[in-house]
Every structure is written in structure tokens, then in C-alpha cells.
Structure 1
Amino acid sequence: MDNLQIFRIFLSFLLLMGLSCVPITYANDQFIINHSESNLDHRYQYTYDLLQLVIDATDADFGQASLEVSDVIMSRNRILRELQDGQTINVIAEASNLQWNAQLIPIKIPIRKGIQGFRIFIIQKENAETLAKITSIAQLTSLKTGSGSQWSTKVAMQQAGFEVVESIQYDSLFNMLSKGRFVTFGRGVNEVYQEVDQFSLEYPNLVIDENIMLHIPLATYFYVSPNKPRLAQRIEVGLRRIINNGEFERLFYQRHCDFLVKSKLNQRLIFKINNPLISESEMTSIVGKDFLLNPMDDFSVLCKNITDLIVFN
């Protein structure tokens, strides 16, 4: 073996050693989530924080990532178009929708545990006695109700026999209710208290009914652009991880126990209607049926036990 061959072998050895010392680099994933429908609409804050928790939980194996909230307020139909492209936004947390399931990548883990399907009504003060006297679903459906034009709950309510008065604008629904365009305005337990408080100065005649809950099976999923399959994979891995280690439950109950306790769901008259857009078996296909909330539970006890456990840990 001549000197040139020895030199080449030595050079190859140094090259291999050098490559083995190069740190592994990861893609810097960029999550761009939608802006809420209005500057007064804070329903998405929990989902922003949950997504950040997912990102943090997958940092070691997926690498660094950024989370950005789009500064553009868009209708849900436009959001779908933008998600299909994946440039302006590439992820959203939204109620299950057959069209979205077909055209986007859904991560079928109900990240709100079904709570947004526990519908409590915002009403005018003068109609409180009317709702207090209701004893049947037929009486409830005889009252005009309000809904966003593109909300999935609208379809379920129409199928159940409600006369639904629609608006494409989130803010305008509160104005329409205060003017008597409809009698009831169903909102999720996770939404209703904040909304009445936010609109109290503008519409002081609006209050929360204390007697009835309408249960519509409803799941909020993360939907991802079909052009961003890596982000979808990362979200599913992260969600499974934080569910298994308890971080999901801690965040969920920290953000929702106040509303669950205040609503006294198990003391209300509960009417349940079908949702043609989703079944409870689909909602629980990944996480199991016990993952969903039961409105008949006493959340004053459940939340105290969970809070004590969180503090203890």
C-alpha cells in the first residue's frame, strides 16, 4: 500500500468522523392558526394554548416550531379555501364538518371533550319566565332561535324542528337577540358566560337562562391543510402524548371548571337532539367514550377533586 492510498484512507476516516459529529437538524415547523371571528370573540384562546402545549410536547422528536395567529378575520367558508392551500393559515380548531373531513386532514380527537355541545341559552330578561315553564322539546322548538349561518349546530337544530334565524356575522347575533329577532341563542358552556359579560354594556337586557340545556353531540377537532401532513402528524402525536401524561386534563379543567360549576348542568332540564354531521361513536373512536364529559355529573365535586389533585402534584 503506497502513501497515496494511506492518505486516502486516512482522509475518508476523518470525513466519517466529522459527519458523525454534525448535530441532527430538524425542520422548523410553522403553525399558522386562524384569527377569531371578531375582536370580541375569545373562544379560540384555549385552542391556541393547547396547540402550544402540543408543540412543546413534540419538540424533542419533531424539532423547533413557531405558532402564529393569522391577523386576517375570515368567514368559515373562506377559512376552508385558505386551509386547502395552506399558506395564509394551515391549522384550525373547529367543529366537525363532513366537507372539512373530506378536504382537510382531521385529527379526530375531541379537544373540548364535547363541552361546546352543552348548549345554554342567552335570552332577554323578559323571556326568563317563558323558558322556566318549558317542559318539552316541542315547547322549546316553538321558540325562534339564533345561529351563525355556517355553524354546524344550525343543521342539528333545524333537523330537530327549530326555526333558525341566521346571521353570517358573530357580533350581529347579539344585536338581533336584543331586538327580539329570536328568543333563544344557544351557546356552549365554554362560551356563554364570557360572551354575556363581554356584551353586557352594549346589551344589558341579555341574560343566561338557568333552567334548560340542549345537548347536541359536537366535537372540536384540529384540522390541518392537506399540504401540511407533517403538521397533522405532529399534532396527533402531541395530543396523544399530553393525554397520556395528564397535561391535557390539567389544561382543560383549569380553563373550564369555572363554567362547568357555574352552569349547574345536572340541575337543568336536559334535551338531547341528534347531530347529522357527527356521531358520538366517531368522537370517541380514538380516545374512548369516557373521554367525553357527562352533563349529569356534579362538576362542583369533580372539579374540586381535580383541582386538589393538580395542586397536590
Structure 2
Amino acid sequence: MSKHSLSQFLLIFTFFIALMSNDASSSETIYYPRSTAKIDPHIDFILEILNTALREFPGKYQPVPSAAAYPQTRSINEAISPYGQIDLVWTMSTNERETKLIPIRIPLDKGLLGWRIAFVNDKNKDILSQVKSLNDLKKFDAGQVHDWPDTEILQNNMLNVVSSSTYEAMFKMLAANRFDYSPRAIFEIWGELASHSSMPIFIDTHIVLHYPTAFYFFVSPRKPVFANDLKLGIERIITNGQFEKIFQKYQRDAIQKADIKHRTVIELRNPLLDSRRLPLNRPELWFKP
């Protein structure tokens, strides 16, 4: 190779390296909270939706987990704060969260978060077998994490709740019979059972709780452009069918296992969310048992 050709090659090579470097450096880092759970039951599903939606904006955003694990309340507060470390969270919608954060009003779970079946201690597998109404359920103690919206929802429906300080502590308390049952969303519970297989817990087969809610992406007010792009990206993958494919990939088996049609449905009020905020005019976004 002549010196002239070598110089041209090196110039072109340097140009492409610089171009790639500029593309990488131009990506905006979006921090989401690392979970406190040993195994996060949502993470693969959520990240596939997130990354598929953001592929509509090649190279523009780079989602990254936070260095430290964040419990739910702290992650939301970090997203709200003008100087917070978190840009994106995914969680149950409430009126307060929709006011303080930017909600992407597309239910990632298609409303499954509001369909809840319960863990029970495996020594009391049939403890809920005679529950046919909300009044019947009031005889038992539920277990939830203290800062979850579900705790307030259950209490507002006059159900007894024993709260735990952390997610993992909730399972230890159930194993120790500190409460009778722990309601979990049907798209959470099977993965949680697998990740706590050494514990004496069992999935109740008798009842399902239901209340109106949605599991949204919430974006920090610091990131309005990202919020707009994320919504547009999700709308595009809904239109082209990718959203439904991802939902079925992760949730189909859980829905079948839950067997809702053969359970007693206990309807609950949700005082934390005005149902008029929900996109109920779009039936394609909602699960119907």
C-alpha cells in the first residue's frame, strides 16, 4: 500500500471511529431504579418493552440501572426531585404520582396489576376456601410492604393489613405465619414463587381480588422530551403489533395458570386513582378474563 493510500485509509478509519464515538456520546443516559428484590419479577418484561419502544429513536437514549438499589418510595422521590438520580420508574398509577411525575398512560400490564391472587403459608393451603365475599375476607390478615399503594387500597376496603418494611421481609413474615395471605398480581406471583422456592409458601386457588388500576411508565419532570419520545415509541409498537407479542410472550402462561374463571372474584374500590384518568376508551389496552 502506498503512503498516499495508507494516509487515506487512516483518515477514513479515524473519521468512522470519531463518528461512532460521537453517536455513543450523544446518547442520553436514562437512569431507572435497581430493584431491592433478589429477583425482580418485572424486569425482563419491562426492559423488553422499553428497549423495543426506544429503538424507534436509534442511539438517542441509553437506559441504565442505578448503581444502588432503591425501594419504591425513594425511587419515586428521586424521580420527582429537581436534583434526583432517577429518570424513569414503572409502578402502579395513583392520582398523586400522576400529578408529580409525567405518566405514560399506556397500561404496560393491560390492567393485570389489579387482578390479584394470594400467597398463603403451605401449612394453610385452604385457608381462603370459604371466602365468598369481601366480608368473609375481613376475617383474615393480609401482608403487604408498608409503602405500596396496595396497602392503602386494602385498608380502605376495611381489610386488615400487616405491613413489612421490605419486599423480602414480606415473604419471611408469611413463612412465619405473621399474616394469613399476601395478594400479588397474577403477572408477578409465579416468578415470585420460583424465586422463593425454598420458603413454605403456596399460591391460593380459591379467590382473586380485583380493583381498577394500571402499571405505567412514569418519567421525571426533568425529562419532558424523553417522556414524549417514550410515549410515541410505545404507541408505534402497539400499532405494529410488537407490544402485544411481548405481552403474550411474558404473560400468557401466568394468565392461564391463574384460571380466574374458576375463582371467586372479590371486587375492591381503589381510592388512590380516579378511574376517569384510565384510558378505558381503548379496549385493546386492557386484559379481559
Instruction: Give the TM-score, by structure 2 length.
Output: 0.86
The equivalences for 1:143-158 within 5 A come to 143-158=140-155
Which of 70, 77, 93 lines up with 1:74 in the alignment? 70
The whole-number CA distance in structure 2 between the counterparts of 1:48 and 1:70 is: 14
1:112 and 2:109 equivalent?
A: yes
Q: Counterpart in 1 of 2:269? A: 274
- Percent identity, aligned pairs only, is 27
The whole-number CA distance in structure 2 between the counterparts of 1:45 and 1:210 is: 26
SS in 1 for 2:182: strand
Higher strand share: 2
The whole-number CA distance in structure 2 between the counterparts of 1:264 and 1:243 is: 26
The Cα of 1:146 is off from its aligned counterpart by: 0.5
Which of 206, 213, 216 lines up with 1:218 in the alignment? 213
Q: Which has the larger radius of gyration?
A: 1
Q: Counterpart in 2 of 1:37? A: 36
Paired residue total: 267
Letter in 1 for 2:78: E
SS in 2 for 1:32: strand
Q: Unpaired segments of 5 or more residues in structure 2?
A: 1-22
Letter in 1 for 2:254: F
The Cα of 1:86 is off from its aligned counterpart by: 5.9
The whole-number CA distance in structure 2 between the counterparts of 1:86 and 1:109 is: 27
Higher helix share: 1
Q: Counterpart in 2 of 1:230? A: 225
Runs of 4+ in 1 over 3 A off after TM superposition: none
Q: Counterpart in 2 of 1:289? A: 283
1:259 and 2:254 equivalent?
A: yes
SS in 2 for 1:72: strand
The whole-number CA distance in structure 2 between the counterparts of 1:122 and 1:66 is: 36
SS in 1 for 2:40: coil
Q: Unpaired segments of 5 or more residues in structure 1?
A: 1-24, 296-313
Contact between 1:114 and 1:217, CA under 8 Å: does it hold in 2? yes
Q: Counterpart in 2 of 1:54? A: 53
Letter in 2 for 1:275: N
Taking only aligned residues, the RMSD between alpha carbons, in angstroms, comes to 2.1
1:248 and 2:243 equivalent?
A: yes
The alpha-carbon distance between structure 1 residues 86 and 105, as it changes in their structure 2 partners (threshold 3 A), is: farther
Letter in 1 for 2:277: E
Letter in 2 for 1:278: L
